Structure 1
Amino acid sequence: MNRTAWKWLLAVSLSLNLGIIATVVFNQLRPFPPHANTTQAPPVNLPDYLQLSNEQRQRWQQLEPVFLQDIAANWREIRKHRETLVRHIFAGTPQRAAIDAEQARIAALQDAQQQRVISQLLAERDLLNESQRARLMALLLSRYEQEATKEELLHRD
């Protein structure tokens, strides 16, 4: 497999992982509309689901707004570059250098986003007790099993 194919596979893999993590985190504020062909897990209010104490809820509410604004801005940038990438791919004469540049920019944005998500989850982990951590981990893992990307849905029969 050539180097460009490996880069493309890495970008797709990162995209899937980040999409799943972001979906779980965003479900507490803005659930995505259900797809006709999929079963969508119901939105979860994480502070209630995790049974946070009043002190934990205050700390949680301090962590969330900046993270959600930051990640939403990152998703807007990723979408913009994905659009540009698709336009380059389907241009009359695709320019490989332009395609590679957009793919590299998307990968960099996805990497930054993954780092934000990891930092957020570590911060949330620190304010949770052991049983709350176990509940959050179980929820995340169950969502990963259920999630499909829009690209996957587009290519299914």
Structure 2
Amino acid sequence: MNHATWTRSLLAISLALNLGVVAALVLRQPPPADPPATAHEAPVNLQDYLELTGEQRQHWQQLEPGFLTEVSANWNAIRKHREALVRHIFAAAPDRQAIDAEQAAIARLQAEQQQRVIAQLLAERALLNEAQRVRLMELLLRRYAQESSEEELLHRE
């Protein structure tokens, strides 16, 4: 596989990981005060959507704070590397080694993020009954089918 194909493949994987993480974050946020301006579904309160019992809600609420803190910190790190990547790309004399280093750092952070999301979903899955699992799975699959990256949207407008 040549370098350009490898880079494009890695970028595609990176974008796919981002989409999964973004969907997981969106699903955990309370609905906004104003309806969203996009055609995407509005964020839902998962505890209500899944009709969790009192005991399930208690366990669910114990799982979320650490996960959300870690995800937020990771997204901040990814954002900083993306900003550095863009600055390197648009520098007067782009430094390919610096670009590659930032891209590799982003890929590593995204892989870590994906592992956090998988661990969280597995922990949540363990709390749910079969009907609740099906509802959550279907919701996630609908969200993933609707996702577009911000870069895609920027270039479509």
TM-score of the two chains, using structure 2 as the length reference = 0.89
Could you tell me how far 1:30 is from its partner in structure 2? 5.1
* Structure 2 CA distance for aligned equivalents of residues 111 and 20 of structure 1: 11
TM-aligned CA deviation for residue 35 of structure 1: 7.2
RMSD, matched Cα: 2.1
Question: TM-score scaled to structure 1, two decimals?
Answer: 0.89
Q: 1:34 to 1:150 in 2, by over 3 A?
A: farther
Amino acid at match of 1:25: L
Shift of 1:146: 1.1
| Structure 1 stretches lacking a partner, 5+ long | none
Instruction: Give the Å deviation of 1:4.
Output: 5.0
The one-letter code matched in structure 2 to 1:107 is A
Report the equivalent of 1:115. 115
Provide Cα deviations, 1:13-52, integer angstroms capped at 9, x if missing partner: 223333333334333325688775x313111000000000
Q: Following the alignment from structure 2 to structure 1, what is the Cα–Cα distance between the partners of residues 61 and 105? A: 31
**RCO higher in structure (CA 8 A, sep ≥6):** 1
2:151 match: 151
Residue ranges of structure 2 left out of the alignment (5+ in a row): none
Q: Aligned letter for 2:22? A: A
Match of 1:12 in 2: 12
Residue 29 of structure 2 is matched in structure 1 by: 29
Q: Structure 2 vs 1, CA of residues 30 and 8 (structure 1 numbering), >3 Å: closer, same or farther?
A: farther
Q: Which residue of 2 aligns with 1:73?
A: 73
Contact 2:36 2:42 in 1 (8 A): no
Identity of aligned residues (%): 58
Q: CA deviation at 1:73?
A: 0.6
Give the paired residue count.
156
State the distance in 2 between where 1:86 and 1:115 align.
26
| 1:46/1:131 CA distance change after superposition, 3 Å | same
The one-letter code of the counterpart of 1:68 is: L
- Map 1:132-143 → 2, pairs under 5 A: 132-143=132-143
